[in-house]
Structure 1
């Protein structure tokens, strides 16, 4: 497993020595490009966050799961013909969590303004809004195999949020 750090140091400076947090790492799993993979991806991400004891707030978890749902749904709906399998990658650093959904379709999706009469088509707008509101980043990258990876990275909330809940229930309200 490759351990990824936070922001790299400025050029010419040595990175400060640090011990990785126990929850840091990169996990990747694949799933068929089917509708049933959407809830499976959500559950896998939630379970991994719990298993690794990542210091996340419930709001961050909900935002992250919504992003996973939207990105996996888009891959299933728009890339399944050229990509019968998709990959979900969760990268967790000391100060951030990043989710990427990769498929083999070369089309680079764009967030489209949907009109009031449409019931769908707002998924990427939602991902962008959640990411921006959280102070995170969102992008689409081409993969070496000719497909794409759509990703969003969100900053982790201060670690005290989980510790406070566990030790002082009055402060967690």
Structure 2
């Protein structure tokens, strides 16, 4: 399933509505923690595409069929979210100050998703994240059912870790754009 996104901030709300309708059609109710987390991830990734690239994007959502919690092997079903755009700018985590109103999107993605990463695609890129439908969270991941405030606290912890990593290399924590020495592993 995919949705084409225009470079317009109003598209973020449309993307959330679209994702909610796809979740409902797959048997994942709005009240499920997975749905709340996925909608927040849609908001963050689509906002990043709209705000930071100024280019059209494509939102893709892969859901487990029929609302099944686990497949026949007993493995967790995986929900995958992707946003592809035509900008060659790599996603860069930033250190947002306590009073900043933005700059925490990738930290939230890192704190909420079980896995995430990005890859070059043609002249642009694809950012993706995955959630395990029935598995517990990994180390440092938010527990299912946590609130947006809990996610913000996770983002603050990630920002603090980024700040320590950057400070340890003698750099100011005003943003990581262009800082090639920062060790950030993308899966």
Q: TM-score, normalised by structure 1?
A: 0.67
* Residues 25-55 of structure 1, C-alpha deviations (whole Å, 9 max, x = no match): xx11202111111011011111011112247
Matched residue, 1:44: 18
Contact 2:12 2:47 in 1 (8 A): yes
Contact 1:55 1:157 in 2 (8 A): no
Counterpart CA distance in 2 for 1:44 and 1:56 is 13
Matched residue, 1:152: 129
* Residues 75-97 of structure 1, C-alpha deviations (whole Å, 9 max, x = no match): 111111xx2x2100001245110
Q: Which runs of 5+ in 1 are unaligned?
A: 1-26, 159-173
* Residues 106-159 of structure 1, C-alpha deviations (whole Å, 9 max, x = no match): 11112112112312111110111111xxxx10001111x21011111001138x
Bigger relative CO (Cα 8 Å, ≥ 6 apart): 1
Contact 2:29 2:35 in 1 (8 A): no
Matched residue, 1:28: 2
Matched residue, 2:171: none
**Secondary structure in 2 matching 1:100:** strand
Counterpart CA distance in 1 for 2:30 and 2:100 is 34
Matched residue, 1:138: 116
Matched residue, 1:60: 34
The aligned runs of 1:64-83 (5 Å cut-off) are: 64-80=38-54, 83=55
Which consecutive segments of 4 or more residues in structure 1 shift more than 2 A?
Answer: 54-57
Counterpart CA distance in 1 for 2:28 and 2:105 is 26
Q: Which runs of 5+ in 2 are unaligned?
A: 65-70, 72-76, 136-187
Counterpart CA distance in 2 for 1:140 and 1:51 is 27
| Rg larger in structure | 1
Cα RMSD for the two superposed structures: 1.8
Counterpart CA distance in 2 for 1:151 and 1:63 is 14
Q: TM-score, normalised by structure 2?
A: 0.62
Matched residue, 1:102: 84
Aligned length in residues: 124
